[in-house]
């Protein structure tokens, strides 16, 4: 009987450890859909970027000096999501100063893109070119688009 009790006492910490690990993995699986969605959005966004943005902002997001602004670590990309969504939907026809340099090439509106395409491309940009920022959703784009 003493051997059984000793064995149980020795095994009990392992059981609790395994239980805690299972709970952690379950929590990670529950959290995974949003990260999976963000990864899918980034993948789709890269395709939109290649089709609609790369000519002006370049493959590395560095832009063109004096014309098209860079997308790396700028307040325009990492800051207010609504402002960024509006720039894509409505374009930008004014000079932009970034890190002391002025960029003056107008950006045409890309309002022909769907809400999902805008969300995807902005999520891609906000998570590439040395950027790390939260995703943008199609619902957020739809809300901004509805504000006329």
With 0-12 CB in 10 A as exposed, 13-18 as middle and 19+ as buried, what is 6? exposed
Per the domain annotation, does 16 fall within a domain?
no
Any idea what the CATH number is for the domain that residue 100 is in? 1.10.760.10
Q: Is this structure's pTM higher than 0.85?
A: no
Per the domain annotation, does 26 fall within a domain?
no
- Full residue range of the structural domain in which residue 125 is found: 31-146
In tens digits, the chain (148 residues) has pLDDT values of 666 666 556 564 554 555 454 455 444 333 334 678 889 999 999 999 999 999 999 999 999 999 999 999 999 999 999 999 999 999 999 999 999 999 999 999 999 999 999 999 999 999 999 999 999 999 999 999 999 7
Per the domain annotation, does 67 fall within a domain?
yes
Residue 16: its pLDDT value, please? 52
Report the number of distinct structural domains present in the chain: 1
Residue 9: its pLDDT value, please? 64
Under 8 Å CB-to-CB from 108, ≥6 apart: which residues? Answer: 91
Report the run of H or E that residue 97 belongs to, with start and end.
strand 96-98
């Amino acid at each position: 009987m003493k051997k059984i009790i000793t064995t149980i006492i020795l095994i009990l910490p392992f059981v609790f450890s395994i239980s805690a690990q299972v709970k952690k993995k379950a929590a990670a699986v529950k959290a995974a859909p949003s990260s999976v969605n963000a990864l899918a959005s980034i993948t789709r966004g890269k395709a939109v970027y290649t089709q609609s943005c790369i000519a002006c902002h370049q493959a590395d997001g560095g832009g063109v000096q004096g014309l098209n602004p860079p997308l790396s670590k700028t307040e325009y990309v990492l800051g207010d999501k609504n402002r960024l969504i509006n720039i894509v939907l409505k374009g930008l026809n004014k000079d932009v100063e970034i890190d002391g340099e002025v960029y003056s090439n107008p950006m045409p509106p890309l309002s022909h893109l769907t809400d999902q395409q805008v969300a995807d491309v902005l999520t891609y940009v906000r998570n590439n070119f040395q950027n790390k920022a939260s995703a943008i959703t199609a619902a957020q784009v739809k809300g901004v688009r509805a504000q006329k």
